[in-house]
Amino acid sequence: MKRRLVATLVVALLCLWAVAPAQAQLLQWGVKGGVNMTKIDFDEGYKDKMAGFFIGPMAEVTIPVVGLGMDAALLFSQKGIKADNGTLKQFGIDIPVNLKYTLGLGSMLGVYLAAGPDFYFDFKGEKSGVERKRAQVGINVGGGVKLFRHLQAGISYNIPMGDHFTFREAGQALRKGKDKTWQLSLAYMF
């Protein structure tokens, strides 16, 4: 009786040990960071550029054989513009949620394409005649590579949905603008 119990426990532990790597690939956690390169397009055609950064935790769910999955991140993000009265930096929370398709090129390399909504929540709404929307919505499109099962390097472009800025003087709106952002990212998955 004791031998059967020990044998059953050994077989159960071996089965769990064999299944653990497959489940580890299904859900991964990591840290993502990188550079925001923001370009503001105004109604009159005036454009301005500025660099910023982002960093925060991310999660990724992937169906192992199919390569289809989803990733989401909660990023502290800094973007900005250079206006007539100085530099206006935006600090906020950026939440990209992407549908991701990965094509594996062996066990150590993969190429992915990703697209999905992006939600940005600004910490401050207005500063010195510039009204900023506290919540901004955009669409992400991008791609990248996965290396050694833990590293991901990617590039994405955020297409804004609507205006994000309104410059006012004496209560009247002078010009409106939207920020378009390229992101270069590097992620480490645990």
Q: What is the DSSP code string of 149-181? A: TTEEEEEEEEEESS--EEEEETTEEEEEEEEEE
Residue 145's identity, in one-letter code, is V
Q: Does residue 4 have a pLDDT over 70?
A: no
pTM of the predicted model as reported, rounded to 2 decimal places: 0.78
Mean pLDDT (whole number) for 39-48: 69
| Cα distance between residue 150 and residue 188, in whole Å | 5
Q: What is the reported pLDDT for 144?
A: 97
- Sequence-separated (6 or more) residues with CB below 8 Å from residue 15: none
User: H helices of the chain, where?
Assistant: 2-26
DSSP state of 31: E
For the chain, domain boundaries: 26-189
Mean pLDDT (whole number) for 139-152: 94
CATH of domain 26-189: 2.40.160.20
Q: Which two tokens stand for residue 172?
A: 């009247």
Q: Per-residue pLDDT tens for 46-89? A: 667 788 999 999 999 988 778 899 999 999 999 866 555 556 67
